[in-house]
Amino acid sequence: MALGFHLLNMVKAGGPGVVLAVAGGAVIMATLALLMLAMRGLLVSAITFYAQSSKPA
With residue 6 as reference, give the H or E element that holds it.
Answer: none
What was the pLDDT predicted at 45? 97
Between residues 44 and 25, the one the model is more confident about = 44
CA separation (Å) from 14 to 22, 23, 27, 32?
11, 13, 19, 26
CA dist., res. 54 & res. 22, Å (int):
48
Average pLDDT along the chain: 85
pTM here?
0.66
